[in-house]
Chain A
Amino acid sequence: MSTVTASTSSEAPHAAPREQWSGQLGFLFAAIGSAVGLGNIWRFPGVAYSNGGGAFMIPYLVALLCAGVPILLLDYSIGHRFRGSAPAALRRLWKPAETLGWFQVGISFVISVYYAVVLAWALRYMIFSLNLAWGDDPETFFTSTFLQSASGEGASFDFVPGVLAPLLLVWLVSVGILALGVQKGLERANIVFIPLLFAFFIVLVVRALFLPGAAAGLNALFTPEWSALGDPGVWLAAFAQIFFSLSIAFGIMVTYASYLPRRSNLVGTGFTAAFANSSFELLAGIGVFAVLGFMTVQSGTPIADMTITGPGLSFIAFPQIISQMPGGPLVGVLFFASLGMAGLTSLISILQVISAAVQEKFNLGPRTGAVIVGVVAGTISVLFFATTTGLVTLDTVDKFINEIGVVFSAIVLAILVGHVVRKLPMLQRHLNAISAPRIGGWWLVLLKWVVPIALIAMLASTIVALLTEGYEGYASWFLGVFGWGVLGLIIVAAFVLTAIPWRRDVDAEEVFDDDLDEAATTGAATHSDNSEEGSR
């Protein structure tokens, strides 16, 4: 029985055999590594605390099961069924959808250039922890001494050597991992770093729970505030948290799933990866608030008055706490190493989206693709974020890319697949043919209606807030250039890249065809050698 389909009409060169994960465990670790990132550590605890505390778990779990898992499975099914990077897979789904694929690649590109900088900060802070270099005033140390931040907005090209050196190291390591390929690079890195990250973080949380005041911190995080459930903003915050945390709808999971062998349990892996991500978030929430409780006892500052999210939490509040903690230097090293590992496993997944798309479009090998992407993204990263204005630029680009770009991409994807090309039933059959447990009609309903409605509400509220209130008091021209301008540039680039011809016959390459679907409906088992089928 034929299990892969390919037409052979073009004279364009054909591709080399597609790389694959060594097995499902490799893919699972990579998927968890991608999902568990900086947002789990510095976003979830603060969002939960500000949105109803214990009561936040209700909208959070609803969002996880009604939006997070369905979009994750949609990404998996598209990547696995059509076996390509985001532009190639979406083109095979529906030719004009290639532009959406390039839009997702553009988002990944922009995220990668600023994400790498945070890893560079974490690397430096790991070393600073050894002698508590930030002294008595971590805020001044972070903004003035370390980042040498210029006042106000603007793009300066005054480089900060303290950021530049570790940033170059981050890019070298990331490109090195990518160049080694899917199995030897991405898979091995995740299999080493993910267990290490969980182990480090468990040690940190256990240490935090024995600090004086830890119970007060946990009280603040988990005490339910029921009135919050009546606030639509809290529900939107829950959907946003799940959405940003799972690394969905910007090509990562499409790309990763495309390297899976033919028979792969996508649904089971999706649920495991989603729960692993939430488990880590919960662990991070307990650790962070136990530590903030300790800080309250030490300084008398209420948690409500502290910086509880973003870089401020990791690079200002935590150093302050580490200085007062018995065994502080060791805790600091563990904390910043965890931050670095969580960030690195996410960064390489983001870079793989770009590298895979470039490799396929221009018919390049993994090494060449990785080097080209690394040089271009690394150069932009250094030019804009290793400078004295890097912090403000990063904050602005991050806000617009995540809260508008990624959400917009997910809305278009859900509407496209659910209402325009109507391929959801086909993708459902594909998932069910190879997965256990099977997914039912709920998946279709959620993706066709619940996901687009929730995400459109989220996007509309963000855009209205940005247009009426601005962001962080930054100048309009600055938001226009580094916010709206960057988004506009990605859209233009997506159309330009779509117009460039493929250097190989992308439409003739193998996909996992409907035989799988027939196998599901007839109950006939299809058993074949995965590695041969997948790479033929």
Chain B
Amino acid sequence: MTFGAITFMVIFMLIVWGGLVVSAVTLHRNNKKEAAAERAHRPDSD
């Protein structure tokens, strides 16, 4: 493969697949925070 093609393939992969990983991890963390906050606000929580 040419240098240009490899470079573009790698950059594209990093942006798109990296974007997927970052957004999925952020979503998961925010959902966990939200669930924890919800539990803390329930009057009958443990």
Contact = CB atoms under 8 A, between A and B. Distances in A.
A317 B43 CA distance: 63
Interface string B8-20: 1101110111011
A219 B24 CA distance: 30
Contacts, number: 88
Contacts of A28: 27
A354 to B, nearest CB: 29
A481 interface: no
Given A282-B12, A282-B17, A272 B5 contact: no
Contact of A54 (B9, B19, B42): B9
A265 interface: yes
> DSSP majority for the B interface?
helix
Given A54-B5, A218-B9, A525-B41, A437 B16 contact: no
A520 B34 CA distance: 14
A61 B27 CA distance: 21
Nearest to B18: A275
Nearest to B12: A57
Interface residues of A, number: 30
Interface string B22-46: 0110110011001001100110000
Contact of B19 (A53, A215, A275): A275
A278 B5 contact: no
Contacts of A54: 4-5, 7-9, 12
Contact of A222 (B12, B19, B31, B41): B12
Given A219-B1, A265-B31, A527-B42, A272 B24 contact: yes
Contact of A219 (B2, B15, B23, B27): B2
A269 B30 CA distance: 11
A213 to B, nearest CB: 12
A269 B37 CA distance: 19
A55 B5 CA distance: 10
B9 A275 contact: no
A141 B17 CA distance: 38
A24 B35 CA distance: 12
Given A222-B5, A275-B17, A527-B42, 20 more contacts: A54-B4, A54-B8, A57-B15, A218-B5, A222-B9, A223-B4, A265-B27, A268-B26, A268-B30, A271-B23, A272-B20, A272-B24, A275-B16, A278-B19, A279-B16, A282-B12, A282-B13, A436-B26, A525-B37, A527-B41
Interface of A: 24, 28, 53-55, 57, 61, 215, 218-219, 221-224, 263, 265, 268-269, 271-272, 275-276, 278-279, 282, 286, 436-437, 525, 527
18 contacts: A24-B31, A57-B11, A218-B1, A222-B5, A222-B6, A222-B8, A222-B9, A222-B12, A263-B38, A272-B20, A272-B27, A275-B17, A275-B20, A276-B24, A278-B20, A282-B12, A282-B13, A282-B17
